[in-house]
């Protein structure tokens, strides 16, 4: 992957490719666009964080470089008011708002892109769409908050956490705590990345949810991880 910096207007298309890939934003402008940028960045950050090097079968250094470029692209897009007009495509894109029925079991081939563990189980026919949604919700509920970790590390005080929460409530924004704190100047970009990495290391792996509900046996997790790593390595090479 090329390593030139992002920062000029001509880099908008490249920044969109890094953060969104083929799934371009659908909101025309303003907060809707910025919200899609944040959501896409969170997905890409989870896919490329150096902590996942072993699971993806890649080196930490290559993931760290890709993660850095995605973060720079995210910061660049966060300053934009709207995406460029969509590029013409030869087919009608799938409606991004459409979702399968909650008990739907996928029978389609694995998508030609890297997947997260829960997505891999869904597209492999091992879990339903309901299972996938519940797994993501389960993982989010038990992960430690960014504010708590920031206080433990000395990046924020208890009073500052309360102030950030009060400001965010007054501003009526849906922005995640860490992103809002960074934008308000309470955290640097580097501090936020470190906090997100720590949060990810502390949260329980999503595969445990599928073990607890009886869809996967504990002994199967290493084999499923290996299958997922091979799939992701294949489509990262061809991206």
Supply 235's token pair: 């489509």
Say if residue 125 is in the same domain as residue 229.
yes
Non-local CB neighbours of 6 within 8 Å, separated by 6+ positions? 14, 15, 18, 69, 72, 73, 76
Non-local CB neighbours of 89 within 8 Å, separated by 6+ positions? none
In whole angstroms, give the CA distance from residue 74 to residue 72.
5
Say if residue 125 is in the same domain as residue 225.
yes
The answer on pLDDT for 67 being more than 50 is yes
The model's pLDDT over 158-189, given as tens digits with 9 standing for 90+, comes to 999 999 999 988 988 778 889 899 999 999 98
Domain tally for the chain? Answer: 3
Say if residue 179 is in the same domain as residue 153.
yes
Say if residue 132 is in the same domain as residue 48.
no
- Average pLDDT score over residue span 77-99: 52
Assess contact for 211 and 222: CB atoms under 8 A.
no
Say if residue 13 is in the same domain as residue 73.
yes
* pTM beyond 0.85: no
Look up the domain containing 171 and give its range. 144-202
For residue 55, name the pLDDT band (cuts at 50, 70, 90): low
The answer on pLDDT for 68 being more than 90 is no
Non-local CB neighbours of 10 within 8 Å, separated by 6+ positions? none
- What is the percent of the chain with per-residue pLDDT over 70, rounded to a whole number? 74
Ranges 94-98, 124-128, 144-148: which has the least confidence = 94-98
Residue pointed to by tokens 């080196």: 59
Q: What is the mean pLDDT of the chain?
A: 77
pLDDT value of position 74: 79
pLDDT value of position 9: 43
Q: Considering the domain boundaries, does residue 94 fall inside one?
A: no
In whole angstroms, give the CA distance from residue 183 to residue 179.
6
Ranges 33-37, 145-149, 222-226: which has the least confidence = 33-37
Q: Considering the domain boundaries, does residue 2 fall inside one?
A: no
- Average pLDDT score over residue span 124-139: 85
Say if residue 15 is in the same domain as residue 70.
yes
For residue 218, name the pLDDT band (cuts at 50, 70, 90): very high
Q: Considering the domain boundaries, does residue 22 fall inside one?
A: yes
Q: Considering the domain boundaries, does residue 151 fall inside one?
A: yes
The model's pLDDT over 18-44, given as tens digits with 9 standing for 90+, comes to 777 766 666 555 677 777 888 888 777
Top mean-pLDDT range of 34-48, 68-82, 215-229: 215-229
The answer on pLDDT for 77 being more than 90 is no
Say if residue 29 is in the same domain as residue 56.
yes
Residue pointed to by tokens 């991880």: 225
């Amino acid at each position: 992957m090329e390593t030139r910096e992002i920062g000029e207007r001509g880099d908008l298309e490249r920044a969109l490719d890094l953060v969104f890939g083929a799934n371009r934003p659908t909101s025309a402008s303003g907060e809707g666009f910025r919200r899609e940028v944040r959501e896409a960045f969170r997905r890409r950050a989870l896919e490329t964080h150096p902590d996942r090097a072993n699971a993806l079968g890649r080196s930490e250094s290559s993931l760290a470089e890709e993660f850095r470029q995605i973060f720079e692209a995210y910061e660049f897009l966060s300053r934009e008011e709207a995406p460029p007009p969509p590029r013409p495509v030869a087919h009608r894109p799938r409606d991004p708002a459409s979702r399968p029925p909650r008990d739907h079991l996928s029978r389609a081939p694995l998508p030609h892109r890297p997947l997260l563990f829960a997505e891999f189980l869904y597209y492999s026919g091992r879990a339903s769409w309901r299972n996938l949604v519940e797994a993501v919700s389960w993982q989010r509920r038990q992960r430690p908050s960014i504010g708590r970790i920031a206080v433990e590390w000395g990046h924020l005080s208890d009073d500052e956490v309360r102030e950030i929460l009060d400001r965010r409530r007054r501003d009526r924004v849906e922005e995640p705590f860490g992103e809002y704190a960074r934008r308000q100047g309470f955290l640097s970009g580097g501090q936020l990345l470190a906090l997100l990495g720590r949060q990810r290391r502390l949260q329980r792996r999503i595969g445990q949810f599928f073990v607890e509900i009886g869809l996967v046996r504990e002994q199967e997790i290493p084999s499923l991880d290996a299958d997922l790593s091979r799939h992701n390595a294949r489509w990262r090479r061809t991206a």
